[in-house]
C-alpha cells in the first residue's frame, strides 16, 4: 500500500487508491451512525485530511473512539471523494494503528487558541500549530528560492567561517569563543585574564557577517554567496533583532552599486514570485489570520519597480514630512525605525532602496564617493519590517581603505589579508546581506521575528 502525505492524498487524482497515511490527530468527532471523523495532519500542508473511521474497525471501541488532539496514528484505507466543500477527498479507514496517545488533560495544544507569546514557551510543541507549520513551509520555500536564484545567476555557494577573528561591522557586537580554562587563565602583564588568547592563544569570535571572507572568494571566483548562521551580541529587545539569525550574502567582482541594487531587486522579486506561486494555501492563511494587507504588499514587490532614493533625498522628504518623529532626522545620523516606516508605509507604500549614506555612519569597507562625504552604501527598506538588506560597493583602493580604517580606529595590520586583496589585482566589487528572518517576517506578515525561526535566541531566551 502506497504511503501518501496528507497533501498528496488531498489531490483528486488519488481517488480510488489504497493508501497509508501517518500523522497527528487534530480533532475527533463521533457520528451517531456508528463511526468517527478524525482530522489528520502531517505537516505536509496546512489542511487536514478527514479520516472516516467505522465502528467495524477491530479497535474502534478500545482505541479509535478515544483518540484526542495530538495522538499519533498510521491509517490505511481507500481515498474516496468527499462530500465536504473544503476538500475533494477523504480516507475511509480499514485499519488504524495508534502509536502514541496525548493526555488531553496535559497536552497544551487543545482546541483553544494560544497567543504567539504563549506558544514561544513551548518551542518543542509549537511546530504542531497551524501558524508555525505555515511559517516553516514558507521559510523552507524561501530558502530553496534563494539557492535557485543565485545558482541560476551563476553565483558559487561558499562557506565562510563561523569562528573568526574579524569584527566585520566594527560594532563590537561579537560573542567571544573561548578555550581558556577559567580556573587557571592566562594573564596579561597587569594581572587580568588575557582574552586575546581565547582560541588556543589567539582571539576568536562568532561571525557577525561572512562578508570580508566572502570578498576573498569573490575576488578570485567572480560571483559567490554565503548562507549561514550569524551571531550578534545585541542586547536589544526589538521585534526584528535576534542574537542568532541566518544571513545570505552575495558578493560579486566587477559589480558597482547599481549592479548591486539591481541584483537585490531581482532577488527579492524572485523570492516573492516563488512564494506566491507555490505557497498559496499558507499565504491565504497569513492573509486571513495575520495581516490582511500582505498579499497586496507582496504583489507590489513582485510587479513594481523598486523606488531608489539617495539618503540625502530621503532626509529631505523626512524633514518636510510634517511628522513629529521621536528622533528628529538630521543629515549625518542613521535613520530610525520610525523614519523607515514613514518612507515605506506612509509615503510610498512600497519597498525603497536608499543609497549613498554619510561616511560617518557606515562601515570602513564601503567605497568613498568623490564628494568625500558619502559612501556607496545601500539599504533596502520594506513596509512593516524596515531594513531587510544592507549592502555596498566595497572600497577597492588600498590607500583610501587604509585611511578609512584609521578614521574608524581600526588597526590595518589586523586586516593584512583584506588589504592584500587590494594590493594584488584589486577590482571593483560589491555585495549585500539579507537577513533571512526579516524576509520571512516580511513575506508572512508575522509581527515578531521570534515567531519566524524555530528556536529564537534573544536576551534571556535560550532554553531549547
Ligand atoms: P539594523 O539596522 O536593523 O540593526 P544592521 O544595519 O545592523 O541592521 P547589517 O549589518 O546591515 O544589519 O546586516 C545585514 C542584514 O542582516 C540586515 O539588513 C538585516 O536584514 C539582517 N540583520 C541584522 N541584524 C540582525 C539581527 N540582530 N537579527 C536579525 N536580522 C538581522
Ligand atoms: Mg544592527
Ligand atoms: Mg541598519
Ligand atoms: Mg545595515
What ipTM was assigned to the predicted interfaces of this complex? 0.99
Query: Residue 112 domain-assigned?
Result: no
Nearest CA to ligand 1 atom 3: 387
Domain co-membership, 153 together with 36: no
Residue 440's φ and ψ, nearest 5 degrees, are -65, -40
CB 326 within 8 A of CB 339: no
Domain co-membership, 63 together with 156: no
Nearest CA to ligand 1 atom 9: 390
Query: Residue 346 domain-assigned?
Result: yes
Is 367 a residue whose pLDDT tops 80?
yes
**Which residues have CB under 8 Å from 394's CB, separation 6+?**
215, 365, 366, 367, 428, 429, 430, 431
Q: Is 247 in the pocket of ligand 1 (CB under 6 A)?
A: yes
Q: Which atom of ligand 1 sits closest to the CA of residue 379? A: 18
For residue 337, the CA-to-ligand 3 centroid distance in Å is: 9
Domain co-membership, 91 together with 135: no
Domain co-membership, 151 together with 264: yes
Query: Residue 105 domain-assigned?
Result: no
Domain co-membership, 166 together with 61: no
CA 58 to chain centre: 47
Domain co-membership, 292 together with 226: yes
Domain co-membership, 144 together with 77: no
| Residue that wins the pLDDT comparison between 459 and 90 | 90
Candidate from 142, 339, 435, 456 with most ligand 1 atoms within 8 A of CB, to mutate: 435
How far, in Å, CA of 200 to CA of 319, rounded? 52
Q: Which run of H or E residues covers position 298?
A: helix 294-303
Residue 447: C-alpha distances to residues 75, 240, 410 (Å): 37, 9, 37
Domain co-membership, 92 together with 162: no
Average pLDDT score over residue span 418-435: 98
CB 334 within 8 A of CB 169: no
**Which residues have CB under 8 Å from 115's CB, separation 6+?**
none
Q: For 25, which DSSP code?
A: E
Domain co-membership, 278 together with 353: yes
For residue 435, the CA-to-ligand 1 centroid distance in Å is: 6
Domain co-membership, 229 together with 344: yes
* pLDDT tens figures, 264-279: 999 999 999 999 999 9
* pLDDT tens figures, 86-140: 899 999 999 999 999 999 999 999 877 899 999 999 999 999 999 999 999 999 9
Is 168 a residue whose pLDDT tops 70?
no
The CATH number of the domain holding residue 70 is: 2.40.50.140
Give the end of a domain, one of 58, 80, 100: 100
Three-class SS state of 346: helix
Query: Residue 185 domain-assigned?
Result: no
Mean pLDDT, the chain, rounded, equals 94
Give the end of a domain, one of 100, 115, 145: 100
Query: Residue 183 domain-assigned?
Result: no
pLDDT attached to residue 104: 94
pLDDT attached to residue 446: 98
Give the end of a domain, one of 62, 84, 100: 100
Domain co-membership, 411 together with 316: yes
Query: Residue 121 domain-assigned?
Result: no
> Can you read off the three cell numbers belonging to residue 81?
471523494
Q: Is 75 in the pocket of ligand 1 (CB under 6 A)?
A: no
Which domain range does residue 148 map to? 128-173+208-451
Q: Is 391 in the pocket of ligand 1 (CB under 6 A)?
A: no
The CATH number of the domain holding residue 137 is: 3.30.930.10
Average pLDDT score over residue span 16-28: 97
Is 216 a residue whose pLDDT tops 70?
yes
Query: Residue 111 domain-assigned?
Result: no
Query: Residue 109 domain-assigned?
Result: no
* Count of the separate structural domains present in the chain: 2
Q: Is 70 in the pocket of ligand 1 (CB under 6 A)?
A: no
Domain co-membership, 90 together with 136: no
Amino acid at each position: 500500500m502506497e504511503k501518501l502525505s496528507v497533501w498528496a492524498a488531498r489531490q483528486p487524482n488519488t481517488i480510488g487508491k489504497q493508501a497509508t497515511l501517518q500523522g497527528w490527530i487534530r480533532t475527533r468527532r463521533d457520528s451517531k451512525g456508528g463511526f468517527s471523523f478524525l482530522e489528520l495532519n502531517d505537516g505536509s500542508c496546512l489542511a487536514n485530511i478527514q479520516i472516516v473511521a467505522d465502528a467495524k474497525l477491530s479497535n474502534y471501541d478500545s482505541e479509535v473512539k478515544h483518540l484526542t488532539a495530538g495522538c499519533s496514528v498510521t491509517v490505511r484505507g481507500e481515498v474516496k471523494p468527499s462530500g465536504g466543500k473544503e476538500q475533494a477527498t477523504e480516507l475511509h479507514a480499514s485499519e488504524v494503528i495508534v502509536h502514541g496517545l496525548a493526555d488531553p488533560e496535559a497536552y497544551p495544544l487543545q482546541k483553544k487558541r494560544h497567543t504567539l507569546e504563549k506558544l514561544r514557551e513551548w518551542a518543542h510543541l509549537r511546530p504542531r500549530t497551524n501558524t508555525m507549520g505555515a511559517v516553516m513551509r514558507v521559510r523552507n520555500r524561501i530558502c530553496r528560492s534563494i539557492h535557485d536564484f543565485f545558482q541560476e545567476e551563476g553565483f558559487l555557494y561558499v562557506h565562510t567561517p563561523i569562528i573568526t577573528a574579524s569584527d566585520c561591522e566594527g560594532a563590537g557586537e561579537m560573542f567571544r569563543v573561548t578555550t581558556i580554562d577559567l580556573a587557571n587563565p592566562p594573564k596579561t602583564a597587569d594581572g587580568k585574564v588575557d582574552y586575546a588568547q581565547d582560541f588556543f592563544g589567539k582571539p576568536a569570535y562568532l561571525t557577525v557577517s561572512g562578508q570580508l571572507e566572502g570578498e576573498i572568494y569573490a575576488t578570485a571566483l567572480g560571483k559567490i554567496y554565503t548562507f549561514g548562521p550569524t551571531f550578534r551580541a545585541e542586547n536589544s529587545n526589538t521585534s526584528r533583532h535576534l542574537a542568532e539569525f541566518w544571513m545570505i550574502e552575495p558578493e560579486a567582482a566587477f559589480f558597482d552599486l547599481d549592479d548591486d541594487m539591481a541584483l537585490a531587486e531581482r532577488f527579492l522579486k524572485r523570492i516573492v514570485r516563488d512564494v506566491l506561486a507555490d505557497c498559496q494555501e499558507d499565504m491565504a492563511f497569513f492573509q486571513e489570520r495575520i495581516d490582511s494587507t500582505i498579499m497586496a504588499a507582496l504583489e507590489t514587490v513582485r510587479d513594481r519597480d523598486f523606488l531608489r532614493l539617495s539618503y540625502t533625498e530621503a532626509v529631505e522628504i523626512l524633514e518636510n514630512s510634517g511628522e513629529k518623529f521621536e528622533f528628529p532626522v538630521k543629515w549625518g545620523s542613521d535613520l530610525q525605525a520610525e523614519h523607515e516606516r514613514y518612507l515605506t508605509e506612509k509615503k510610498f507604500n512600497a519597498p525603497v532602496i536608499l543609497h549613498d549614506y554619510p561616511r560617518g555612519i557606515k562601515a570602513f569597507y564601503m567605497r568613498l564617493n568623490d564628494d568625500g562625504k558619502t559612501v556607496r552604501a545601500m539599504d533596502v527598506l520594506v513596509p512593516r519590517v524596515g531594513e531587510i538588506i544592507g549592502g555596498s560597493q566595497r572600497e577597492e583602493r588600498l590607500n583610501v581603505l587604509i585611511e578609512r580604517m584609521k578614521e574608524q580606529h581600526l588597526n590595518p595590520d589586523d586586516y593584512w589579508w583584506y588589504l592584500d586583496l587590494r594590493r594584488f589585482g584589486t577590482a571593483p566589487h560589491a555585495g549585500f546581506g539579507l537577513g533571512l528572518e526579516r524576509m520571512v517576517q516580511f513575506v508572512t506578515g508575522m509581527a515578531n521575528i521570534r515567531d519566524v525561526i524555530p528556536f529564537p535566541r534573544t536576551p534571556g531566551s535560550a532554553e531549547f
